[in-house]
Amino acid sequence: MSNFFTDNKFRFLLLLAIVFFATLYLLFNSYGVIKYVRLKSELNELNKKIEQLEKENKNLESEIDSIKKGYPSKIEKIAREKYDMIKPNEKKIEFEEED
């Protein structure tokens, strides 16, 4: 029996099992590589969303600024698009989309 534990084949299999279980532990534990990769991907998505929202925020700030300054063309555009307003003596033509 003592010959079994000193056998090179047993040592190799034992080392292989240890490496296998250590690799599983490193990959699948609560702080493992797979969780790290998933969190890194989520972080990248959130950073992209933050960047997109910052651009949208700047556009809205510039639109608010132009309205506050009273640019007539900007005010007219908003009145026509958002509130369907028209100038006196104008006629509004609407088209229905066919499905």
What average pLDDT does this structure show over 17-25? 89
Query: What's the rounded Cα separation, in Å, for the pair 3 and 1?
Result: 5
Helix spans in 7-99 (H): 8-28, 33-68, 72-83
Which pLDDT score is estimated for 97?
85
Q: What percent of the chain has pLDDT over 70?
A: 94
Instruction: Find the distance separating the first CA and the last CA of the chain, reported in whole Å.
Output: 83
Q: What is the pTM of this model?
A: 0.53
- CA–CA separation, 13 vs 19, rounded Å? 10
